[in-house]
Amino acid sequence: MHDTAHRDFLLRDARQQLGFFANSLRQDGGFDTLNWDGSPMDRGPQELHTTTRMIHSDALGHAMGHDDAGRMIDAGMAFLWDQHRDTTHGGYVWSVGQDGVADGTKLAYGHVFVLLAATSAKQAGHKDADRLIDDISAVLDRHFWDDERGLFKEEYNRDWTPFSTYRGMNANMHGVEALLAAYEATGRDIYLTRAGRILDFFVGQIAPEHGWRIPEHYTADWQMDPDYAGNPMFRPKGTTPGHSFELGRLVIQHWDLVGRPDSGAVMRGRALIETALTDAWRPDGGFCYTLHLDGTPDVTDRYWWPVTEAIGALAVLRGLDERPSDVEWYDRLWAFADTKLIDHARGGWFPELDETGAPTQAQFLGKPDIYHALQATLLPLVGRPSRLLAGCWDIRD
């Protein structure tokens, strides 16, 4: 699917990202957010998704043979177990500061990333992975999984008392990602079954009713809540095309893992991906961050992560049922990333652009994340919709 020059480009960027983010590891085992030049930013509380995504990303790096990955996984696993894990109430707190717990909120979003980190660490051979898988699976069962609805509930106080009736797509989408990874790592059918139930709701029911777009927010009885607007990054109003790229790829990944029973899942995944491409691409390149539910632009700011997720989605489509439009979009996305988002001199990707197309720091400070961009470089190299981490062993140096 890819020529030698492009494969070399992907591998080079993946290695450069891993090298850049190795600078985030502190002596105490935590992870600093890095400035554009790779120097540590002023230290604030470390959030759960930062810890878990670093573990997952370095598990991918370990499979590729990256030298620093092992110590990064060790540090992340220790920080997750010793700092984020709540030994009083169970579960995992959202953020930890220098003086202990900074935010004790228990979020489904963070907890599904714990499962992803645990299962990625298991595939990397980490000695503590199984105890973490067992612990987080029990927490998800006890507090978050709603077996009647086949979906994850959302949020609690530190002591597990509820403080809202909010339900969201984002945590459930990343729940699918984690459940599929857990199935790949353990072979336990319950993870695959639960992922399928979540996909049945959002991709089988909700997406067709809304023109192959996914509303983000729901009430306690899972009715769409069109007026809800929370955190502008994690819970923006309307629909988020970047999430359509992710969910489109995940429904195909699930189809692959259950044995490719028919073409319906691929058709649904393609509908999500192609609708988001058409709706959200700006004439000057990049994607509008959010859309109204009719597909018209709402927040037109351009961030790196929707581009990375579109690349991953197109890579999956190209590996299954390549069409000329898939190749055109894939090349367009990488050309944009190459010229606008990748910091070739220092490593990592700039997280946002201003209206002139130059890197800026309005919503994000520094380079806060390796998770999205690293997967964008690796999914095209692995060449199949599932078994991303296992596939990285095949591209090992």
Mean of the pLDDT values across residues 57-68?
95
Domains of the chain, earliest start first: 4-395 (1.50.10.10)
The residue assigned the tokens 């600093």 is 32
Q: How many CB atoms are located within 10 Å of the residue 5 CB? A: 8
Structure tokens at 368: 């806060």
For residue 243, indicate whether it is catalytic.
yes
Q: Percent of the chain beyond pLDDT 70?
A: 99
For residue 344, indicate whether it is catalytic.
no
Determine the pLDDT at residue 396. Answer: 76
Residue 32 has pLDDT above 70, yes or no: yes
Structure tokens at 149: 């609805």
Is 248 within 8 Å of 273 (Cβ atoms)? yes
Determine the pLDDT at residue 100. Answer: 94
**Rounded CA separation 345/38 (Å):** 11
Determine the pLDDT at residue 397. Answer: 59
Determine the pLDDT at residue 2. Answer: 73
Residue of 66, 174, 217, 243 marked active site: 243
Residue 387 has pLDDT above 90, yes or no: no
Query: Which residues, 6+ apart, have CB-to-CB distance to 66 below 8 Å?
Result: 15, 18, 19, 58
Residue 38 has pLDDT above 70, yes or no: yes
pLDDT, averaged across the chain: 96
Determine the pLDDT at residue 58. Answer: 98
Determine the pLDDT at residue 1. Answer: 58
Residue 261 has pLDDT above 80, yes or no: yes
Mean of the pLDDT values across residues 295-310?
97
Query: Which residues, 6+ apart, have CB-to-CB distance to 384 below 8 Å?
Result: 256, 316, 319, 391
